[in-house]
A and B are shown apart, each in its own frame.
Chain A
Amino acid sequence: MYVSAKSIGLGICPCCKKINNMWSDKEQCERCGATFSIRKPYTLQYTLAWTLAALIMFIPANMLPMMVVYTMGNDTRSTIMEGVTIFMQSGMYPVAFVIFIASFVIPVGKILCLLILVTQARSAKPKNLKLMTKLYSIVEVLGPWSMLDVFVVAIMAAVVNLGFISSVEAAGGITFFGLTVIFTMFASASFDVRLLWDKTDNNFE
């Protein structure tokens, strides 16, 4: 049987997981002192706002070059997808695959998942609750991995510093890409999966 803590006036502290009596909307945890609400406040608004911000940042992140490579006086600029195709052409499939997953599949997947979660939480009868809960856990865990490309550019720019022969400089794309990742992380942190379960009216499954 499923009894939610909220239905009998109890709230769980998100920091130390202690059960607290919710006398009002906002309480201070009696064990660890963190202030928390029974459900994250304005969760759908915040999640949607951060997700849309991430989506907007994702456009310049893919249009602008991530880095500039100077070799013997020539400069080559490459965006994320161009970087992936360069790897494909030179036959380094594992690296191309890793970069493609980390800097395209994960951010796009995260944004899509968050949008699905928000629409499900807004609908009157959310479906596939267990799947949605799983989806949310995956989105939370995968978040940081998209920072990969920013870190790669930073390392390349610092290491390849041989003056005229060869040098690498970071370019505008990394700022927007970094912001995309941060915004999706804020979005997933402000989403509350328990909203989906609240709609079940404490029915038997």
Chain B
Amino acid sequence: MSSVSPYQDLIACLHCDNLCKYQHLSPGQKAICPNCGSVLLYRKVNSIERTLAIALAGLLFFIPAITMPLVGISVAGQYSDASLLACISILIDDGFPVSATLLFMFTLIVPFIKLSAAGYLSISLKYNKVTPNLLMFFRSYKVLDNWAMLHVFFLGVVVSLYKLLSLAQVSIGIGLVSFALLLLCTTLISVTMDEHFIWQTMEDKLVR
């Protein structure tokens, strides 16, 4: 565990397993696999501060995004609207627990874990409090990477807006605005977070 391995200066491509020499990158530079052309590494600018700011903003938008109404319609004087939580509860009431679980996981739980893990990681790294449990947080962040579907849900809202326009008068709620901002934050996090840099920092502080 503590011995410094002689492979410190090597890096392998995740797509073709090609071994390359590790080059130290300064912020803003990219390394590309000479064999298959995938991006090996990309060192980002001001990554920790930006990630922290965006994660906190995202967590602020989270509660209005799930509890406030997304879309409302009115026909002949009657009005009805629904929030994200209402979508989930209606699926349970209609007898579709599987779909309700999928919706719950992909639009609530996964984004929430990702946002809070990103926020916790950047706070700890910024104030130099690196503990072994951070590894677990970052691992869970990586595992959930492909399973957040806020963007798909947002497109779903847009498509339903189109559908509803032919039925009734449609109004957009505060929930939809917060949801759009939440989506923006989760997308920006994957843009600003520099995974290799974080792993490298944690390794330097923990292993040696």
Evaluate whether A10 and B19 lie within 8 angstroms (CB atoms) in the complex, with A19-B10, A137-B38, A151-B103 already known.
yes
Stretch of B59-67, B158-166, B183-191 that contacts chain A = B158-166
Stretch of B46-54, B81-89, B113-121, B122-130 that contacts chain A = B81-89
User: Are B135 and A158 interface neighbours, CB within 8 A?
Assistant: no
User: Are A155 and B87 interface neighbours, CB within 8 A?
Assistant: yes
User: Are B15 and A152 interface neighbours, CB within 8 A?
Assistant: no
**B25 within 8 A of partner (CB):** no
Which residues on the B side are within 8 Å of A81 (C-beta)? Answer: none
User: Are B19 and A3 interface neighbours, CB within 8 A?
Assistant: yes
Task: Point out which of A14, A150, A158, A175 has the most chain B C-beta atoms below 10 A from its C-beta.
Answer: A158
Evaluate whether A154 and B75 lie within 8 angstroms (CB atoms) in the complex, with A4-B18, A30-B207 already known.
no
User: Are B75 and A162 interface neighbours, CB within 8 A?
Assistant: yes
Cα–Cα, bound, A200→B7 (Å): 24
Cα–Cα, bound, A12→B22 (Å): 13
User: Are A178 and B10 interface neighbours, CB within 8 A?
Assistant: no
Q: Which residue of B lies closest to A167 (CB)?
A: B80
**B30 within 8 A of partner (CB):** no
Cα–Cα, bound, A32→B155 (Å): 35
Task: Point out which of A6, A140, A144 has the most chain B C-beta atoms below 10 A from its C-beta.
Answer: A144
User: Are A147 and B38 interface neighbours, CB within 8 A?
Assistant: no
**B11 within 8 A of partner (CB):** yes
Q: Which residue of A lies closest to B142 (CB)?
A: A15
Which residues on the A side are within 8 Å of B96 (C-beta)? Answer: 170, 174-175
Q: Which of B60-109 contact A (CB under 8 A)?
A: 70-73, 75-76, 78, 80-82, 86-88, 90-91, 94, 96, 98-99, 102-103, 106-107
Which residues on the B side are within 8 Å of A108 (C-beta)? Answer: none
User: Are A17 and B196 interface neighbours, CB within 8 A?
Assistant: yes
Which residues on the B side are within 8 Å of A116 (C-beta)? Answer: none
**B56 within 8 A of partner (CB):** no
Task: Point out which of A3, A17, A163 has the most chain B C-beta atoms below 10 A from its C-beta.
Answer: A17
Task: Point out which of A2, A159, A160, A193 has the most chain B C-beta atoms below 10 A from its C-beta.
Answer: A159
Residue positions of A touching B, CB distance < 8 A:
2-6, 8, 10, 12, 14-21, 30-34, 90, 92, 95, 98-99, 102, 129-130, 133, 136-137, 140, 143-145, 147-148, 150-152, 154-163, 165-166, 169-170, 174-175, 178-179, 182, 185, 189, 193-194, 197-198, 205
A sample of 20 more A-B contacts (CB under 8 A), given A4-B19, A10-B10, is A4-B18, A12-B14, A15-B139, A15-B143, A17-B195, A19-B11, A90-B166, A95-B162, A147-B102, A148-B156, A150-B99, A151-B103, A151-B107, A155-B70, A155-B87, A155-B160, A159-B164, A178-B102, A189-B146, A194-B15
What are some 8 contacts across the A-B interface (CB < 8 A)?
A: A17-B196, A95-B163, A154-B156, A155-B87, A159-B164, A162-B80, A170-B91, A174-B96
Residue positions of B touching A, CB distance < 8 A:
1, 5, 7, 10-12, 14-19, 35-38, 70-73, 75-76, 78, 80-82, 86-88, 90-91, 94, 96, 98-99, 102-103, 106-107, 135-136, 138-139, 142-143, 146-147, 149, 151-153, 155-157, 159-160, 162-164, 166-168, 195-196, 199, 202-203, 207
Q: Which 10 A-B pairs have the closest CB atoms?
A: A151-B156, A158-B82, A5-B12, A12-B12, A158-B87, A4-B17, A16-B199, A154-B87, A19-B7, A155-B160
